């Protein structure tokens, strides 16, 4: 594929993806080179690259591969710029570190990041110096499907979005990946921007907070930094677990947090777990974060998944009026894809892309073929060891204690949970399971499984534990 060919192809994508998507996401992509079976594109920011890959990757690849079949993969990267070394990033977990590094590149390059004129004008000079991630325009309240697992979080977010007097501060939203935390925070932002344009609303990820902080230190602009953060009316920090273990960032976050709370400014925070469970987070920060309202987003249930799919399909119908979709496909997807909503959406997107490109109807059979790789991960064979490991991690006990003879409740209950999961997620027989739990009798296993089955209905905590464990084992 040559640059000219890409130029042409780009225009064709306009028809598939719509004018809006085209201008925002596809137009800025420049083909840098084809290296072996990888086509590499220049993107203005890492965020854009990730976004394009996640949302349009399949469709772009489909077209590209049609033109040049040897291309098997796409890569989007920001043209290299001077790399900045920071000590702060080195303690990050693996994934954090990777994005962290690119974010440093981005930050170092912030002067060159193109921002649309209207946006730039609306920002203060200071803010322009530290650009925040754009809000996703699909993440609004009217696109958020409410169900039992997320109704409380939704109600709390709505309340904050009214912009009335601050009733709980902060609002702390937590839950597993892909359950709608970022969606809700963006929705609050959109709503406030529309109804209270005078308010200075700042949304950013904890990672961006860190990079702004590091950059301010480097450029000796700490005063500006502090002033900027203390002048917002509503501060939203996403994925706060990112700054766990990053001491000076935490320190600064703590001061920012307190300054805003003292001024009675609203703060919204999200994390992948409850405040008390974030390791390597200072106690005083944890307890501060628990002062307001802490709400969790529960794993999705079948009804919510179906509702979300339904609302997506309604939108797709506008874009693809001619495409037929069998109703049983939604049921199929909601049953089979039980983890996060992002995967669910991705599956649907792929089905539509495929069907519209190939010109077929979407049926369960076609879905089975087209999504084979995604579905396979949900059918992955799970071993007894894996379950034992996950469960002992989850309850914070030693593997040895779970398998061993101790009968303390704090070991016995997790042991029963593990037995229950082994019974339901593997094909092992009860005697086999018993053997792997320190040579216990199959009646013991049966009793354990029964006990959890009962508790599952009467004890919400157990039900949630089971759902979480099942999800992490399946994911």
Q: Which does 178 bind (CB under 5 to 8 A by kind): ligand ADP, Mg ion, none?
A: ligand ADP
Residue closer to ligand ADP by CB (options 260, 308) is 308
- Reported as type and span, the H/E element at residue 201 is strand 201-205
Residues of this chain that bind ligand ADP (CB under 6 A)? 139, 143-145, 150, 175, 177-183, 308, 341-342, 345
CB 247 to ligand ADP: min, Å: 25
Q: Which does 375 bind (CB under 5 to 8 A by kind): Mg ion, ligand ADP, none?
A: none
CB 100 to ligand ADP: min, Å: 18
Residue closer to Mg ion by CB (options 239, 353) is 239
Euclidean distance between CA atoms 46 and 104, whole angstroms: 10
Euclidean distance between CA atoms 454 and 450, whole angstroms: 6
Euclidean distance between CA atoms 285 and 298, whole angstroms: 24
Q: Which does 52 bind (CB under 5 to 8 A by kind): Mg ion, ligand ADP, none?
A: none
CB 103 to ligand ADP: min, Å: 17
* # residues near Mg ion by CB under 5 A: 2
Other C-beta atoms closer than 10 Å to the C-beta of 36 total 9
Q: Which does 144 bind (CB under 5 to 8 A by kind): Mg ion, ligand ADP, none?
A: ligand ADP
Residue closer to ligand ADP by CB (options 144, 225) is 144
Residue closer to ligand ADP by CB (options 304, 449) is 304
Euclidean distance between CA atoms 172 and 163, whole angstroms: 16
Tokens of 240: 């706060």
Give yes or no for residue 16 binding Mg ion (CB under 5 A). no
Q: Which does 180 bind (CB under 5 to 8 A by kind): ligand ADP, Mg ion, none?
A: ligand ADP
Residue closer to Mg ion by CB (options 216, 295) is 295
Q: Which does 88 bind (CB under 5 to 8 A by kind): Mg ion, ligand ADP, none?
A: none
Residue closer to ligand ADP by CB (options 170, 175) is 175
Query: Residue 449 CA to chain centroid, in angstroms?
Result: 33
Contact 175, 471 (CB under 8 A): no
Residue closer to Mg ion by CB (options 45, 182) is 182
Residue given tokens 């591969």 in the structure block:
65
Give the footprint of Mg ion on residues 22-61 (CB under 5 A). Answer: none
Euclidean distance between CA atoms 182 and 135, whole angstroms: 10
Residue of 16, 46, 150, 182 that binds Mg ion (CB under 5 A): 182
Strand order of the β-sheet with 293-297 is 201-205, 234-238, 266-271, 171-175, 293-297
Euclidean distance between CA atoms 156 and 162, whole angstroms: 10
Residue given tokens 């969790």 in the structure block:
296
CB 178 to Mg ion: min, Å: 8
Nearest-CB residue to ligand ADP?
Answer: 180
Instruction: Return the axis-axis angle of helices 372-379 and 341-358, rounded to nearest 10°.
Output: 150
Where does this chain touch Mg ion (CB under 5 A) — which range of 5-13, 76-84, 173-181, 448-456? 173-181
Instruction: Return the axis-axis angle of helices 302-319 and 341-358, rounded to nearest 10°.
Output: 30
Closest to 354 measured CA to CA, from 342, 340, 371: 371
CB 237 to ligand ADP: min, Å: 13
CB 308 to ligand ADP: min, Å: 5
Three-state DSSP at 353 gives: helix
Residue closer to ligand ADP by CB (options 142, 198) is 142
Q: Which does 316 bind (CB under 5 to 8 A by kind): Mg ion, ligand ADP, none?
A: none
Q: Which residues contact 10 (CB under 8 A, 6 or more apart)?
A: 26, 27, 29
Tokens of 48: 């854009």
Residue ranges that bind Mg ion, judged by CB under 5 A: 181-182
């Amino acid at each position: 594929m040559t640059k000219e060919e890409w130029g042409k192809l780009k225009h064709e994508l306009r028809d598939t993806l719509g004018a809006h998507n085209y201008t925002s996401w596809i137009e800025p992509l420049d083909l840098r080179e084809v290296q072996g079976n990888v086509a590499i594109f220049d993107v203005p920011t890492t965020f854009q690259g990730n976004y394009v890959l996640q949302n349009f990757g399949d469709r772009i690849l489909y077209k590209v591969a049609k033109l040049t079949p040897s291309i098997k993969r796409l890569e989007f990267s920001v043209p290299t710029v001077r790399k900045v070394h920071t000590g702060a990033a080195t303690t990050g977990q693996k994934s954090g570190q990777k994005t962290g590094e690119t974010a440093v590149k981005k930050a170092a390059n912030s002067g060159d990041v193109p921002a649309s004129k209207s946006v730039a004008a609306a920002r203060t000079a200071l803010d322009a110096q530290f650009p925040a991630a754009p809000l996703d325009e699909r993440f609004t309240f009217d696109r958020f499907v409410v169900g039992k697992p997320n109704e409380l979080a939704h109600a709390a977010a709505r309340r904050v979005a009214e912009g009335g007097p601050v009733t709980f501060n902060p609002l702390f939203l937590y839950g597993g990946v892909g359950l709608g935390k970022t969606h809700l925070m963006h929705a609050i932002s959109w709503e406030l921007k529309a109804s209270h344009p005078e308010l200075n609303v700042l949304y950013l990820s904890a990672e961006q907070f860190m990079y702004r902080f590091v950059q301010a230190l480097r450029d000796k602009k700490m005063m500006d930094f502090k002033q900027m953060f203390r002048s917002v009316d509503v501060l939203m920090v996403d994925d706060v677990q990112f700054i766990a273990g990053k001491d000076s960032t935490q320190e600064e976050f703590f001061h920012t947090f307190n300054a805003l709370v003292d001024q009675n400014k609203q703060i919204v925070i999200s994390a992948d777990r409850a405040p008390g469970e974030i390791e390597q987070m200072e106690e005083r920060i944890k307890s501060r974060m628990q002062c307001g309202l802490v709400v969790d987003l529960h794993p999705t249930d079948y009804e919510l998944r179906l509702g979300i799919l339904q609302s997506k399909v309604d939108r797709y119908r506008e874009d693809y009026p001619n495409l037929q979709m069998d109703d049983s496909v939604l049921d199929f997807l909601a049953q089979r894809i039980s983890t996060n909503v992002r995967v669910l959406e991705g599956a649907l997107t792929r089905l539509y892309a495929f069907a519209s490109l190939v010109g077929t109807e979407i049926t369960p059979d076609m879905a089975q073929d087209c999504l084979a790789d995604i579905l396979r991960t949900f059918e992955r064979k799970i071993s007894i060891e894996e379950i034992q490991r996950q469960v002992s991690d989850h309850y914070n006990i030693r593997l040895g204690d779970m398998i061993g003879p101790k009968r303390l409740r704090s070991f016995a209950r997790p042991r029963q949970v593990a037995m229950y999961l082994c019974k339901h997620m593997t094909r092992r027989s009860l005697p086999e399971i018993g053997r792997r739990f320190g040579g216990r009798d199959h009646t013991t296993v049966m009793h354990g499984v029964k006990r959890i089955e009962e508790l599952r209905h009467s004890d919400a905590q157990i039900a949630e534990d089971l759902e979480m464990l099942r999800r992490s084992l399946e994911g």
